[in-house]
Amino acid sequence: MIKRAGLNVKFIPLINLGLGVCAAFLIYSDIKQAIIVGLMVGLSASGLYSGVKNVIEGEGVKGY
């Protein structure tokens, strides 16, 4: 869906993080727990390694 909307694929991990945190706030009332669970869900949805790799390579930073 993100690709169809015309957004750059390097932002998919960031979008996954945001959606994960928002979804966790619907489930958990504790703010700290919602943020931690949301980050875990968002990172697992995109894959931590591939997400970092896409963001770094997308901005032209070399060395990874």
Number of domains in the chain: 1
pTM reported for the whole predicted model: 0.64
Q: Answer yes or no: is 46 within a domain.
A: yes
Q: Answer yes or no: is 1 within a domain.
A: no
Q: How far apart are the first and last CA of the chain?
A: 28
Q: Answer yes or no: is 12 within a domain.
A: yes
> By residue range, what is the domain housing residue 12?
8-58
13-61 per-position pLDDT tens digit = 788 888 889 999 999 989 999 999 988 888 887 777 676 777 777 765 5
**Amino acid at site 25:** F
**pLDDT of the residue at 32:** 94
DSSP-derived secondary structure for 32-45: HHHHHHHHHHHHHH
**pLDDT of the residue at 55:** 76
Buried/exposed code over 13-45 (b: 16+ C-beta within 10 A; e: otherwise): beebbeebbeebbeeeeeeeebeebbeebbbee
The contacts of residue 49 (CB under 8 Å, 6+ apart) are none
